A and B are shown apart, each in its own frame.
Chain A
Amino acid sequence: MTDPAGVLDATVREQWGRLTSLLLGHYRRLDLVEDALGDAVEAAARHWPARGVPDNPAAWLLTTARRRLVDQLRAESMARRKGVLLVTDAERRQESGRVMADPGGVVDDDLLRLVMMCAHPALSREAASALALRLVVGVSTHDIARLFLVPETTMAARLTRAKKKVVTAGIPFAVPSVEDLPDRLDAVAQTAYLAFTAGYAPGSGPDLLRAELAGSAISLVRVTLAQRPDEPVLLALLALMLFQHSRRDARLSEAGELVLLADQDRTRWHHDEIAEARSQLDHSSLLRPMTATAAGYVLQARIAAEHALAPSAAETAWPRIVASYDLLLQVTSSPATRLARAVAVSEAEGAEAGLAALEGISLPGSHRLPAVRAELLTRSGDGDGARSAYDEAIALCRNDAERAYLVGRRDRTAG
């Protein structure tokens, strides 16, 4: 592999978080490190094609970024420097001399420190997600903005605010205490899952790239899992994400319309990812006691596994899915989960049972509840009831593609 651009891309993809954490651990300047590393990547793009790819591309980037940082620090007064230093743990400070060795043999704890800082519970989950994708996975601000469907300037401001809070509030570049670790790992998982689901939230049009960007949330989990290999919450979340992500190519038709799970071409699913998700879900650590967040991901992953492993939509084991939803409701009772359970009940036991399961669910402002009711009323032969439920859903739906789908369903519903 001597293609300079390819090597640079791969190095950035695989080493960004590690390089960022090394530089942050040493210089403790959240406001300078990211730019310095960005400058180093730009310099590599300029120099490597002419001078050849260095033997150790990551070390080249590290050295170049360090030079930029040192130049900037020299240009500043000490007085200014003091206020903006990142807080690190005492242990880390003592070893700060030796971690600047080549990035192949670093103290990996720095990477875990970086993840824990980005996903800190004192940050909003939106801010934490964006910060983790930027600093740990190296996703550009442009792409993070696209993932979360906000203008790039909005995302840039969100990242700046998050970094300011980290420094001002003293959110530490540190691994939490043992008793806090389970909660903090839950926070990392929730941060990653928010970024992942953002990639699958309906946008204004077909956007395959957003699904690919959701994959960067999987990278965030993999990076953290490499540091803490047996954590149930990370194993369960990785399985859940892989099952869902494996279907990305089958989700959209050639015309760019959403294809429902039952109608997807299962040969277009990524079966290697499904196999990996299965083995994660079978991990012995998932038999240990775990947090409610982890248990919730395990049950959701089991439900996703039923879909992923069914030979066809008709052969889906709906009663087992209903059983998993029943357990999930014991862990986390949300109206959205109850709605999903009602859909599973209708598949397992028929439309009437599904309609009965809808009783008492309240999702104000959402089109999903009336849309499901309309579908079940159609199946149970109540055309008038179905059309009025479709009208209700259409009035509430804010996404063009989904609304067009609902209008089509209503117009085809016989009286």
Chain B
Amino acid sequence: MKRYVFLIAYEPGGFEQAAAEVQQSYFTAHEAFSTYVAEHGNELSSAALADTDTATTVRHLDGAKSVTDGPFVETVEMIGGYYDVELPDMDHAIAAAAILPPAYAVEIRPTITITA
């Protein structure tokens, strides 16, 4: 099994502004995704994220902690949620990502193990 994090990008407000049946299709797609992952691997965790206007970024600048309002990178698309899953390989990861709502762009990132 390989572990992948799926980062979901979509336009802010897209879901809230959608018609009820479109919103329902989102739920259906996420359920189908979870079913697929359960059949072929494991879903470790997932979350929908609040909009980036609620984000806070912490950095260190010249050795001092710096806290700023906003995401670490300003883009048109934002990360709206994530899945952390285990699947056999990239082909399964692509198949799973394709199940999610078509309005999404899904970035598949393999995880790595850092050893001391």
Please report A residues at the B interface, Cβ cutoff 8 Å: 79, 83, 87, 89-90, 120-122, 168-172, 174, 176-177, 180
Pick the contact of A168: B87, B94, B110, B115 (CB < 8 A): B110
Consensus secondary structure, chain B interface: mixed
Q: Is the CB of B89 within 8 A of A170?
A: yes
Closest 5 CB pairs of A and B: A170-B2, A172-B89, A87-B89, A170-B89, A171-B90
Q: Is the CB of A172 within 8 A of B91?
A: yes
Pick the contact of A176: B4, B91, B93, B113 (CB < 8 A): B91
Pick the contact of B90: A79, A83, A90, A170 (CB < 8 A): A170
Consensus secondary structure, chain A interface: loop
Pick the contact of B112: A168, A177, A180 (CB < 8 A): A168
A276 to chain B, nearest CB (A): 34
B30 to chain A, nearest CB (A): 22
Given contacts A170-B2, A170-B93, A180-B95, 20 further A-B contacts (CB under 8 A): A83-B113, A87-B2, A87-B89, A87-B90, A89-B88, A89-B89, A121-B94, A122-B90, A122-B94, A169-B2, A169-B108, A169-B110, A170-B4, A170-B88, A170-B89, A171-B89, A172-B89, A172-B90, A174-B89, A177-B91
> What 0/1 readout, one digit per residue, does chain B (72-105) give for beta carbons within 8 Å of chain A?
0000000000000001111101110000000000
Question: Assuming the A-B contacts A83-B113, A87-B2, A170-B2, are A180 and B91 also in contact, with contact meaning beta carbons closer than 8 angstroms in the complex?
Answer: yes
The listed residue with most A CB atoms (<10 A of its CB), out of B91, B93, B113, B115, is: B91
Q: Is the CB of A170 within 8 A of B110?
A: yes
Which of chain A's residues have a CB closer than 8 A to the CB of B95? 177, 180
A109 to chain B, nearest CB (A): 15
Complexed CA–CA distance, A176 and B87 (Å): 15
Which of chain A's residues have a CB closer than 8 A to the CB of B87? 170
